[in-house]
Structure 1
Amino acid sequence: MYALPFFVALSIGTLAFRDGAGVFGALLIGVASGALTLAAGRVAVAFSRSLALRVAIATVFAAPAAIAGYHVVFALSQIGVPSSAWRHVFACLGAACISGTASGRLTVFAKTRPSESAGVLENTARPVLPAATHE
């Protein structure tokens, strides 16, 4: 979940340093941009009513985590796994687990809407003449 904000912070901090912000200014700008990216993602998922938008935001946050997870698991599997094919298999499984964890941690803040909770609607239609339904 933190891979995208880290990438944004590193990129913007490097850009600020290159443009003359200095070490302290680049660090401050980088940290602020990473925190803003994380906060914006969490707020967007929490207040979004569209399931498709929530899935898209979670995918944007989970994709860099999957790439980072793949490379970490692949590098660590070189210690004990001699087969190249099995290292790639373990790396793919690690990437899937890490991206699932990232998207799960991001969608924890999403509120369940009444229409999404087990298909039950709270505002069901009521009859116009309630006395007529008793007969």
Structure 2
Amino acid sequence: MLALAIVLSIVGLGFFCGLLFRLAIYALPTFAGLAAGLAALHSGAGVGGAITVGLLVSGAILTLGQFVFAATRTPLRAIVALIYVVPAAIAGYQVSFALAGLGMPGSVWQAAFAVVGAVVSGCTAFARLALLASPPDGRGTGSVCSPADGRLHDQGR
């Protein structure tokens, strides 16, 4: 019975760490949805209405950002990327710093792990934002292998 409790504790901690990582990646939509939900709650919408408004706003912010990132080119694309990546990196830093503080006493190592967490969160947020964006050459996914036979194709090079 004790072994089952230990295994379930590890699984639960892994689940909550994954949830914290996802919230850090989607920091801007999460914050926007939370702010809109709290505003709806304080205006008298009730708990159900506040949850609905929060989910709709966070989904709209994420979808709008992905659409603008995919539809535009360099200057606006860089601005949209920074708007989504910087809050994710800050949230990743804070989460990593707090989790590293649970297991290590030295503040230098805490900061080092927090910087790694910030970089990973920022890069993952950028990758999730760029899911809908086409490659710059416009040829598709950029693979030169055929999925059917695995042979390389000559692309006029």
TM-score by structure 1 length? 0.78
> Of 18, 41, 48, which aligns to 1:17?
41
Question: Aligned with 1:82: secondary structure?
Answer: coil
Give structure 1 stretches of 5+ with no counterpart: 116-135
Residue correspondences, number = 114
> Of 69, 94, 104, which aligns to 1:71?
94
Give 4+ residue runs of structure 1 displaced > 4 Å after superposition: none
> Of 21, 24, 34, which aligns to 2:58?
34
Q: What per-residue deviation string (whole Å, max 9, x for no partner) do you get for residues 37-87 of structure 1?
A: 011011111111x21211211111111111111111111111222211221
Identity %: 39
1:93-132 to structure 2, matched below 5 A, reads: 93-114=116-137
Of 79-88 and 8-17, deviating more is 79-88
Between structure 1 and structure 2, the one with the greater Rg is: 1
- 2:67 matched to which residue of 1? 43
RMSD of aligned residue pairs (Cα, Å)? 1.5
> Of 15, 24, 28, which aligns to 1:4?
28
> Of 52, 57, 61, which aligns to 2:75?
52
CA distance, structure 1, for counterparts of residue 137 and residue 126 of structure 2: 22
- 2:145 matched to which residue of 1? none
Q: What per-residue deviation string (whole Å, max 9, x for no partner) do you get for residues 11-47 of structure 1?
A: 0000111011111111111111111101101111111
Question: Aligned with 1:108: secondary structure?
Answer: helix
Counterparts in 2 of 1:96 and 1:113: CA distance versus 1, 3 Å: closer
Give structure 2 stretches of 5+ with no counterpart: 1-24, 139-157
CA distance, structure 2, for counterparts of residue 108 and residue 30 of structure 1: 23
